[in-house]
Structure 1
Amino acid sequence: MKKIARRAFLQLGAGGAVVATLGGTPRLARAQGKGKVRLAYLQLGWAATEIIHKEDLLGKRGWSAEYSIVPGAPGPLLNQLASKNVDAIDMSFALAAKAFEDSVPFRVTGVATAVLGAIIARKDAGLTKVEDLKGKKITAIVGTSTFFDIRALTLKGYGFDLSKDTQIVTATSPPDMVTLLGKKDVDAIIAWQPITDQVVLRGEGLYLAKQIDLWRKATGRPTGFPVHVCYLVHSDFLAKNPTIAQDLNDAQKDAVDIWYGKPQRAIEIVTEVTKLPKDVVQVAHKETVRMLSGLPDEQVETLVAQLKINKEFGFLKSDLWDNPDRIRKEFFYRT
């Protein structure tokens, strides 16, 4: 699948998965008759799925839940869902739409986190506004959905093309971008949390623009949150177990409540799962735009607008994305 290098920067082996167990208590003994569900998630998904796992929030809803942490890029995780090795996953919303075009059988059952991307300027580069990027050297992983989204939003909101009106230095991973910025070989990077927060924390860069701000300028939408990560459930599993959609959304809501209501517990869990330094996680927690849950009407409207922009600028190809009614019926699953 194309353009799936989204979160590869820990380089922990894109194909591996760590299957977790909880407390020595047999899963079936804890369950209340809903059966088994296998939820896999990206180690750097930044979606609060770690909290669902470590607090066993699906188990508390009667499921015998098996959680898998998947290091590396999203591609192998999508493949695990397509081959029915897992029942549900978290995934980049843009990549989910791309996979749906490729006939991967799933439905989007809920959202998890708002957009995570940002443009970070080198601290001494003299850049103070987005327009200052014209003619400058910017490093990015060009094949990622984050770069595509930020390029599209900048073109729509500011009228210039990052691919043509700047000097793009292609990186292969987030560490490459950090190195280039640190060596002053580039003036800015286009990346995502928590790597952006790590650069700022080190004192090497400044936030020039966050993806959410670019979205608001490009679309004129002062409210609502475009989504970076959503939940996908395999269509076959969903047909046999329709209650998983609401239970997963309810578990995500509880995880979001912990994220904001018990931040130290959330930071502890995320640090354990991601293996990132605690100070980086603390900053990234503070800078996170918004953790989300469910599929309320307002959120669906925002998602439809996202899909339209992705189609308009060429990331998506299917005519499906031009038809909001079909999107609601075929792509989303709402209880």
Structure 2
Amino acid sequence: MSFALAAKAFEDGVPLKVTGVATAVLGAIVARKDAGLAKVEDLKGRKIAAIVGTSTFFDIRALTLKGYGFDLQKDTQIVTATSPPDMVTLLGKKEVDAIIAWQPITDSVVFRGEGVYLIKQIDLWRKATGRAAGFPVHVCYLVHNDFLQKNPQIARDLNEAQKDAVDIWYNKPARAMEIVAEVTKLPKDVIQVAHKETVRMLHGLPDEQVETLIAQLKINKEFGFLKSDIWDSPDRIRREFFHRA
């Protein structure tokens, strides 16, 4: 599940624990190739397609505001899309200058030559936070509290399975891409680009990762996506939101 949405569900009362992580952030701002956009600041006043209700849009908006000092929702012309393919269509018809999306949509647009990466979410994170190391997370594993109490081994099992997946991703890339093709039905060449452009596959909840996640939650609270006071207390986050097997 999206890490940001997991935190939102938790503060809304869903009894869950985050037991591990899976992938680093997948988002990016992709500019139309002939739009004349060379840097993030060039987006001011331009038309950008986005699905405004997604956690990726919220994160990229918050990081741009923190890192570059302008608000994508107020200082650009946001064109609300209904789905990722809708964004691709708007870009292809030149009805927008850029899109805010995530893999593999961003990779397919770049591969076809219709767009170029203006900036990736990970680079926005590094600029906004000043953190040169560590990876903010897009996808995490979570388990319902009741199930976790009755089946405590599930957290370790999930993390071990994810570790196996990470090992395949980096050490057996051909097999990894074969599995992705079986599941997603995406073209082989798009999958190859996605594999190359993926920021980082992750597993478990090591200390450094927990610190990065706490910083991620703090930004989500700072810019209004999260509301609960728990996100101001690293000790409470470690104790109440995470489960480390």
TM-score, length of structure 1 as denominator length: 0.72
Partner of 1:110: 20
Partner-residue secondary structure (3-state), 2:213: helix
Deviations 1:53-80 (A, max 9, x none): xxxxxxxxxxxxxxxxxxxxxxxxxxxx
Higher RCO by CA contacts (8 Å cutoff, separation 6 or greater): 2
Partner of 2:103: 193
Listed as ranges, the matches of 1:313-324 within 5 Å are 313-324=223-234
Give the Cα separation in 1 of the matches to 2:96 and 2:160.
Answer: 44
Deviations 1:72-101 (A, max 9, x none): xxxxxxxxxxxxxxxxxxx00001001111
The partner residue of 2:235 within 304, 325, 328 is: 325
Give the Cα separation in 1 of the matches to 2:89 and 2:183.
Answer: 25
The alignment covers a number of residue pairs equal to: 245
Partner-residue secondary structure (3-state), 2:238: helix
Give the Cα separation in 1 of the matches to 2:23 and 2:227.
Answer: 25
Partner-residue secondary structure (3-state), 2:141: strand
Partner of 2:135: 225
Say yes or no: does 1:147 pair with 2:57. Answer: yes
| TM-fit CA distance, 1:103 | 1.4
Listed as ranges, the matches of 1:119-198 within 5 Å are 119-198=29-108
Work out which of the two has the higher radius of gyration on C-alpha atoms and give 1 or 2.
Answer: 1
Moved more, 255-264 or 270-279: 270-279
| TM-fit CA distance, 1:253 | 0.7
Give the Cα separation in 1 of the matches to 2:131 and 2:111.
Answer: 30
Partner of 2:118: 208
Partner-residue secondary structure (3-state), 2:155: helix
Give the Cα separation in 1 of the matches to 2:26 and 2:35.
Answer: 23
- Which one-letter code corresponds to 1:142 in the other structure? V
Give the Cα separation in 2 of the matches to 1:193 and 1:159.
Answer: 26
Partner-residue secondary structure (3-state), 1:237: helix
Give the Cα separation in 1 of the matches to 2:189 and 2:143.
Answer: 33
Q: Where does the alignment leave 5 or more consecutive residues of structure 1 unmatched?
A: 1-90
- Which one-letter code corresponds to 1:165 in the other structure? D
Runs (4+) off by over 4 Å? none
The partner residue of 2:180 within 270, 276, 284 is: 270
The partner residue of 2:215 within 287, 305, 310 is: 305
| TM-fit CA distance, 1:140 | 0.3
Give the Cα separation in 1 of the matches to 2:77 and 2:147.
Answer: 46
The partner residue of 1:259 within 140, 160, 169 is: 169
Give the Cα separation in 1 of the matches to 2:160 and 2:81.
Answer: 38
- Which one-letter code corresponds to 1:252 in the other structure? Q
Q: Where does the alignment leave 5 or more consecutive residues of structure 2 unmatched?
A: none
| TM-fit CA distance, 1:281 | 1.2
Say yes or no: does 1:291 pair with 2:201. Answer: yes
The partner residue of 2:11 within 96, 101, 107 is: 101
Give the Cα separation in 2 of the matches to 1:111 and 1:141.
Answer: 24
Give the Cα separation in 2 of the matches to 1:219 and 1:112.
Answer: 21
Q: Whose helix proportion is higher, 1 or 2?
A: 2
Give the Cα separation in 2 of the matches to 1:106 and 1:234.
Answer: 4
| TM-fit CA distance, 1:246 | 1.4
- Which one-letter code corresponds to 1:176 in the other structure? D
- Which one-letter code corresponds to 2:10 in the other structure? F
Partner of 1:67: none
Deviations 1:103-149 (A, max 9, x none): 11211000000000000000000111001101111110011000000
CA RMSD of aligned residues (A): 0.7
Q: Percent identity?
A: 87
Give the Cα separation in 1 of the matches to 2:178 and 2:16.
Answer: 32
TM-score, length of structure 2 as denominator length: 0.99
Give the Cα separation in 1 of the matches to 2:158 and 2:53.
Answer: 30
Partner-residue secondary structure (3-state), 2:169: helix
